Amino acid sequence: MKQKLVFLDIDGTLVDKLETIHPSTVKAVEFARKNGHRLFISSGRYKSIVPHCLAPLHLDDGVFAAGANVFCDGRVIFDSTFEPHVYDMIIASLINHRAMIVAETLESEMLLGENWRSEFEGMKQWILSLGGSFVQHAPKSLSTVGKFVYKAADCTNVQLQSELADICNVITLSYPDSSLGGEIMQLGVNKSVGIQKVLEYYGADISDTVAIGDGCNDIEMLDLCAIGVAMGNASDVVKAHADIVTDRIENDGLYKAFETLGLI
C-alpha cells in the first residue's frame, strides 16, 4: 500500500477523558509505522501540554493549537498568533462575561485570574503541573497568544461569537466538559491550514492523507483530507463531515479504523 500521511486528533481519538491511551491504540500506531505510513498529531492542544502518556509513541510532529503552529522534523515551521489589539478585545469580552480564561502560547498556558473561582483549583494545578502559569491580571496587548480556552461564561458560545465575529471564531470545547465554555481561534486558522503546511514541507499530496478525529475543531481537516474518519464518540455534527465512522475510543475505535483503511 502506498504511504499515507495520517493526522490524528488527541482528545477522544488517541486518549480518553482520563488522558489514558488504550493498548489497541499503541498497537495501531506501531503497526502502521511498520507498514511505512507517517503519523502526525493534529490537535487543539499546544505541544507543551500533550499528555505524557503519548511520549512513548514519538508522535512529535504535526499540527498543534488547532492549526496555529506546526512542527516538522522537530522544529516549528509555522506559528500564528492574534494581533495584540485583537487579543485585548477578546480578553475584555471574556472578563465582561465572567469567564475563566486560559491564554495559550507556543511556550506554555496561562490561566488568567481576572475571574478566578475556587471551583477551578483543579484546572489551575493541572496547568501548573504542565509548566504553565497562573497570572492574577491579564497582560496587556500580548502578541504571543495563538488560541484561548474559556469556561463558565455567563453567555453561550453563539452569543460570544456574535460579539466577536469580526475578529475570531468561537467553537465548542473539543473535549468533554460540564462547564459552559469554548475555544477561541484565529480567523482563517484551523487544522486544515496546519495540514497544508505539513504537506508543503514534505512535498506530499492531499490524495495520500487520512484525518481521524471526534471534535468540532476536527471538521475542517475531515473535509480537507482524502479520507476523513470520525470516532464513534464524535457528535452527529462531526460525523456528518466524515467518510467513515469507526467505533468509540473505548471500543478500540482507532485500531478498527486503521484496519478498515488497510493501514495495518
- Per-residue pLDDT at 130: 82
pLDDT of 176? 61
- For residue 174, the model assigns a pLDDT of 73
Q: Do residues 240 and 234 lie in contact, with contact meaning Cβ atoms separated by under 8 Å?
A: no
Q: Check residue 178 and give its pLDDT.
A: 52
Place of cell 490561566: 111
| Angle (deg, nearest 10), helices 157-164 and 84-96 | 140
Neighbour tally for 89: CB within 10 Å: 17
Q: Give the CATH architecture of domain 84-186.
A: 2-Layer Sandwich (3.30)
| Residues 6 or more apart whose Cβ sits within 8 Å of residue 162 | none
The 10s digit of each residue's pLDDT in 84-110 is 999 999 999 999 999 999 999 998 899
Closest Cα partner for 80 from 145, 17, 168? 145
SS3 251: helix
Q: How confident is the model over 145-181, as pLDDT tens digits?
A: 999 999 999 999 999 999 999 999 998 887 666 557 8
Pick one of 3.40.50.720, 3.30.70.20, 3.40.50.2300, 3.40.50.1000 as the CATH number of 5-77+191-261.
Answer: 3.40.50.1000
Looking at residue 177, its pLDDT comes to 61
User: Dihedral through CA 100, CA 191, CA 81, CA 104, nearest 10?
Assistant: 30
Q: Is 209 helix (H, G, I), strand (E, B) or coil?
A: strand
pLDDT band at 192 (very low <50, low <70, confident <90, very high): very high
Residue 179: predicted pLDDT: 59
- Give the start-to-end residue ranges of the domains of the chain: 5-77+191-261, 84-186
Task: Note the pLDDT tens digit of each residue in 9-55.
Answer: 999 999 998 889 999 999 999 999 999 999 999 999 999 889 889 99
What mean pLDDT, rounded, does the chain reach?
94
pLDDT at 1: 79
Handedness of CA 79, 242, 219, 50 (dihedral sign): negative
Residue 245: is its pLDDT beyond 90?
Answer: yes
Single pTM value for the model: 0.90
- The predicted pLDDT at position 43 comes to 96
